[in-house]
A = this chain, B = another copy of it.
């Protein structure tokens, strides 16, 4: 019989994809009468599609509400999850098993837990320069950030935008700003290739930016943001030059949001992520960490890495939720997190750009004897109308030819071909194995020898030499 004494409480800190997945999964597995689930979320929103925000801001997606995957009232009514918006966790006592939190501007309160899931995500990296707090300097991380950017653009006074950083957010937002009629300059701190792509692939992406009217300044670290005298932004200084700006987007990457965990004495891992075991449990008993704040094991290098990914957040949430249920109910098998293939997929204007596994530099750093081969092929049969170039690059072990990573760029046919490499990498395939796959052929979709097979064959020649 279930009594008040046998009821358990799970507290989840952070109500985005990872946190809500954990909450939902634990609740579903334990049943409504045996588990109370609190989700403490400091913002007014839960479970929004962060990766959809550039398209919402750019106007491709008209209604911002479409990005709200799970409404708080649905989570409460349908899933029985006690979602507490505007609640910020401020301290954890892993010995006493309590979380201290504050609701809005209210006083600190304390609640005990039987299990705790940390899903505190990541925070935008803010360059340590003058002017970052001026009006018109924005970040894009929360749904509120997205709404604010959309409103600012809709107000119409934004003409010149400077994007600080040319990672995924920077590239996707460049397109959004262009589609809203802005002039866009991307500042890239270093002179290296975009996203860690190899030169031929980087060239294609840079050409897409140029073709679509963006100015990319490489090796141009942000030096300062210049005040317009009314508390707003007037310009940026970078690489010794000053450029007019009505809006500055700081898109210089994110850092795991783990100060709460660190203050509680929970062990940290790579790049200040929260260290977790294969069950996503932290160094503190019954405390799990999921999503961007948690370390992941790279499936190829075996190293602990920080990767910010929506799928991983969802997946880790589900796994940790199941493990919380297994722990608290003392039944059920623990689930393990398979780690990350560091898969990156993005759209840069008219290009599909994908990467998975290790880049050449990462592979070298991880100690592999690494080689790279690439081909420029076509995504349809050469004689079929509308075909065009597809670039396929393979990172592999110079001896033996085990696949370590892949890169794909093309106007079509790159996005989901990438997943073939993900599967091949996951299976530990070498170039020969890859070259022998019986991939689909149909003139509108692929040449008889798919570009992946051609790339594998070309790469094998590099091995044999």
Contact = CB atoms under 8 A, between A and B. Distances in A.
Interface of A: 17, 49, 51-52, 55, 60-61, 66-67, 299, 309-312, 314-315, 338, 340-347, 352, 354, 356, 381, 383-385, 413, 415-420, 422-424, 426-427, 429, 433, 436-446, 448-450, 452
A391 to B, nearest CB: 15
A437 B417 contact: no
B416 A446 contact: yes
Contacts of A446: 345, 415-416
Contacts of A315: 436
Contacts of A310: 441, 448
A443 B55 contact: yes
Nearest to A61: B383
A440 B343 contact: yes
Given A67-B383, A356-B438, A383-B61, A311 B449 contact: yes
Contacts of A338: 436, 438
A346 B446 CA distance: 11
A441 B60 CA distance: 18
A311 B384 contact: no
Nearest to A56: B383
A322 to B, nearest CB: 13
A318 to B, nearest CB: 9
B420 A439 contact: no
Nearest to A428: B427
A423 B299 CA distance: 17
Contacts of A356: 438, 440
A440 B345 contact: yes
Contact of A427 (B342, B426, B440): B426
A440 B384 contact: no
B383 A52 contact: yes
Contacts of A341: 437-438
Given A66-B383, A381-B49, A383-B49, A440 B426 contact: no
Most buried by B among A49, A383, A413: A383
- Those 8 A-B pairs whose CB atoms lie nearest each other, nearest first: A427-B427, A345-B440, A341-B438, A415-B445, A423-B423, A66-B383, A345-B442, A338-B436
Nearest to A421: B423
A66 to B, nearest CB: 4
Contacts of A422: 420, 437-440
21 contacts: A49-B381, A49-B443, A55-B443, A55-B444, A60-B384, A309-B441, A310-B448, A312-B438, A314-B448, A340-B438, A343-B440, A345-B440, A345-B441, A347-B445, A354-B440, A356-B440, A415-B446, A416-B416, A416-B440, A426-B436, A427-B427
Given A311-B441, A424-B427, 13 more contacts: A49-B383, A52-B443, A311-B438, A314-B448, A343-B439, A345-B446, A346-B442, A416-B440, A419-B437, A420-B420, A422-B438, A423-B437, A426-B427
Nearest to A442: B345
Nearest to A64: B383
Contact of A419 (B49, B383, B440): B440
Contacts of A438: 299, 309, 311-312, 338, 340-343, 356, 422, 426
